[in-house]
Structure 1
């Protein structure tokens, strides 16, 4: 290798970079301000300090090995939208319709807005005129839930298990807004340059993991002395009630979506 950039802030990455240095190869590993992050997620006396985004830290790592990066990325499709002509049998024609994407799941429970509340949002949005809602997800359990929603609510289409990743990205790029959790679909939607309304529970955007180029005004969260309790949402709620998610009302979410659409 001419140079090595390690984007995982682990001991293994640091060890590998040290070995490459010994071999005379430029190497750098991503820096993570562990001390400040621990102050953010500790149980008491939290200190909220806005951290550099993951994108900024990646760029800094590449700069260290002689590859300066301009953070000017727009979209995987440039200034255009993805071509979805082949998806017409599933999506229909957009014409003057408003298309809303919803990705309701995440890996950890601490990131998932209660499904009963999401159903209330679906009920409201699906009743709007000239509006179509697309559900995104994957895995047997998720597909089952999304298919049930699509059958129960009008103007709702589940895409789960029906599209390749390239097709999903192209379809996402044609949404007017996406409602997501702090999860993979937040980042995929961000990479196709559409506004993303994101719900944050156990995690917090100030840790540096918000979607690319997304407005902070489109994040939905409530202030609690216990949050964030982790960086990735894997810890169980020590309050046992996930108040960080339960305290967000469907009306708050609908209001954010309406602001984006209008």
Structure 2
């Protein structure tokens, strides 16, 4: 009997980029139902993909075990390789595979460069990264109704929810993800404090979410006993379990923004130095982006910076917490 067709998908990092592969994986399995799908990812992002029901095997990318990984790829004799990372590191994994049909995600590097450095916007009609991933293999695919899902094993969800008191489960909860890797993508802490207080005054419980790098910022936002800090050591499944209990999520441009989309939770995404045209906006259609469109200096980067190059940080500082609060209430009311 002929062996099952094997397909290899490569997306090594980062958290958001890995999560954005989910709609493609759904469609891939739907069209290639009898195929075996393997996924290569860096060890620190395994939680983002290991429970995906459409993945048959996860391969770990580690600098210390590259030889073993390359040997495994060679032995599996993949008929199709989908390289969504498309850089030197990912190409070196399969450069000797002559028989495989190879698809590579085409990054709009030049267009990003022109937008960041000369404010020439050739990305106005740029779709979400998730849709771009799909078009890498299925170029005629045009549906904007992406399939959103994120599987959490029942035992993990049950254990995670034990961290929430019965009182908080019975009150509307607002989720806030205050972290992001780069400074210019983070809404200022003092403004988050003002926003949180508005929710507390309106009798909401506030839940804070973040990974290990967000310990300090989440700790600083514990301004009241009704602010529940669920920051953890990068336990994505625990975060997702508790996040599902939130009415909405308020987030920076970060990996947890994309998690909220897969969980189909309405989100308000606060964009600073980055813009929607890069394709990394919330893919859940009930979510919205709040950004300052009155600045000539935006975007100053496609990934974020360690400081504002203009020293004023108006892209974030000019976004009023009152605006975010009002939009949040509107979003909650429209989804009841």
Partner-residue secondary structure (3-state), 1:27: strand
Following superposition of structure 1 onto structure 2, how do residues 85-164 of structure 1 map, counting pairs within 5 Å?
85-93=158-166, 96-129=170-203, 131-139=204-212, 142-150=214-222, 152-161=223-232, 164=235
Equivalent of 2:112 in 37, 40, 45: 37
SS of match in other structure, 1:260: helix
Equivalence for 1:174: 245
Q: How far apart, CA to CA, are the structure 2 residues paired with 1:163 and 1:27? A: 33
Ranges in structure 2 where 5+ consecutive residues have no aligned partner: 1-77
Q: 1:12 to 1:88 in 2, by over 3 A?
A: closer
* Change over 3 Å in CA distance of 1:82–1:57 after alignment to 2: farther
CA distance in 2, matches of 1:52, 1:212: 10
| Closer/same/farther in 2, CA of residues 208 and 43 from structure 1, 3 Å limit | same
Contact 1:104–1:181, Cα closer than 8 Å, also in 2: yes
Query: Are 1:27 and 2:89 an aligned pair?
Result: no
Residue in structure 1 matched with residue 289 of structure 2 by the alignment:
219
User: 1:3-42 deviations in whole A, cap 9, x for unaligned?
Assistant: 111112435556767754xx12100110122332222212
Report how far residue 89 of structure 1 moved.
4.5
The Cα of 1:145 is off from its aligned counterpart by 3.6
How far is the alpha carbon of 1:111 from its aligned partner? 0.1
Displacement, 1:236?
A: 3.9
Which stretch shifts more, 195-204 or 237-246?
237-246
CA contact (8 A) 2:178 2:187 kept: yes
Kindly provide the CA deviation profile for residues 146-169 of structure 1, in whole angstroms up to 9, marking residues without a partner as x: 23432x324110011278321211
Shift in CA distance, 246/43, structure 1 to aligned 2, threshold 3 Å: farther
TM-score for the superposition, normalised by structure 1: 0.84
Give the secondary-structure state (helix, strand or coil) at the position aligned to 2:173.
strand
Stretches (4+) displaced over 3 A: 11-20, 43-48, 68-72, 81-89
Determine if contact 2:169/2:245 at 8 Å carries over to the other structure.
no
Unaligned stretches of 5+ residues in structure 1: none
Q: Which has the higher contact order (CA 8 A, sep 6+)?
A: 1
Q: 1:165 to 1:14 in 2, by over 3 A?
A: closer
Find the partner of 1:240 among 311, 314, 321: 311
Normalising by structure 2, we get a TM-score of: 0.66
| Aligned-partner SS, 1:51 | coil
Q: Say if 2:174 and 2:206, in contact at 8 Å, map to a contact too.
A: yes
Distance in 1 separating the partners of 2:187 and 2:282:
18
Tell which deviates more after alignment, 173-182 or 51-60: 51-60
Corresponding position of 2:126: 51
Number of aligned residue pairs:
251
